[in-house]
Structure 1
Amino acid sequence: MSSTPLFRFGVVADPQYADLEPNLTLNRYPANSLVKLREAIEEFNRHELAFVVTLGDIIDREWKGFDAILPVYETLRHPKHFLLGNHDFAVAPEHLQAVHQRVGMPSAYYDFGHAGYRFIALDGNEISVFAPPEGDPRRDEAKARMKALETSGASNGQRWNAAIGSTQYAWLAAKLRAAKTAGEKVIVMNHYPIFPDDSHNALDSDCMLALLAEHDHVVAYLNGHNHAGNFGVVGGTYFVNFKGMVDTEDSNAFAIVSVHEDRLDVVGFGRETSRRLALS
Structure 2
Amino acid sequence: MSSADLPLFRFGIIADPQYAAIEPQVEMGRYYANSLAKVAAAIETFNGEELDFVMTLGDIIDRDFKSFDDILPVYEKLRHEALFLLGNHDFAVAPEDLEKVVERVGMPAPYYSFRRHRFRFIVLDGNEVSTFAPPESHPFRALAEQRLAALLAVGASNAQTWNASLSDEQFAWLAHEIEQAKAADEKVIVMNHFPVHPPCEHDMWDRERIVALLSSQDNVIAYLNGHNHVGNYGKVAGCHFVNFKGVVDTESENTFAIVDVYSDRLEIRGFGREESRTLSY
Q: Do the two structures share a fold, i.e. TM-score over 0.5? A: yes
What TM-score comes out, normalization by structure 2 length? 0.98
2:201 alignment partner in structure 1: 199
Give the superposition deviation at 1:17.
0.3
> Quick one: which of 261, 269, 272 aligns to 2:271?
269
2:5 alignment partner in structure 1: 3
> Quick one: which of 77, 85, 88 aligns to 1:83?
85
Alignment length, in residue pairs?
A: 279
**1:233 and 2:235 correspond:** yes
Query: What SS class does the counterpart of residue 224 from structure 2 fall into?
Result: strand
- Over 4 Å off, 4+ runs: none
Q: Deviations over 1:54-78 (max 9, x none)?
A: 0000000001100000000000000
1:115 alignment partner in structure 2: 117
Matches of 1:243 and 1:146 in 2, distance apart? 26
Cα root mean square deviation, aligned: 0.9
Give the superposition deviation at 1:227.
0.3
Give the superposition deviation at 1:181.
0.6
Matches of 1:111 and 1:25 in 2, distance apart? 38
What TM-score comes out, normalization by structure 1 length? 0.98
Percent of residue pairs identical: 59
1:152 alignment partner in structure 2: 154
Matches of 2:8 and 2:182 in 1, distance apart? 19
2:133 alignment partner in structure 1: 131
Matches of 1:123 and 1:199 in 2, distance apart? 19
> Quick one: which of 50, 55, 63 aligns to 2:52?
50
Q: Deviations over 1:93-128 (max 9, x none)?
A: 111011010000011100000001000000110000
1:106 alignment partner in structure 2: 108
The amino acid that maps onto 1:269 is F
2:249 alignment partner in structure 1: 247
Matches of 1:248 and 1:191 in 2, distance apart? 20
Matches of 2:124 and 2:233 in 1, distance apart? 19
Query: What SS class does the counterpart of residue 107 from structure 2 fall into?
Result: coil
Query: What SS class does the counterpart of residue 106 from structure 2 fall into?
Result: coil
Give the superposition deviation at 1:131.
0.2
1:217 alignment partner in structure 2: 219
Give the superposition deviation at 1:25.
2.0
2:29 alignment partner in structure 1: 27
1:188 alignment partner in structure 2: 190
The amino acid that maps onto 1:121 is V
Give the superposition deviation at 1:214.
2.2
Matches of 2:144 and 2:28 in 1, distance apart? 25
Q: Deviations over 1:23-52 (max 9, x none)?
A: 112101000000000000000000000000
Unaligned runs of 5+ in 1: none
Q: Deviations over 1:128-156 (max 9, x none)?
A: 00001112221121111112112222100
Matches of 1:59 and 1:184 in 2, distance apart? 33
The amino acid that maps onto 1:190 is N
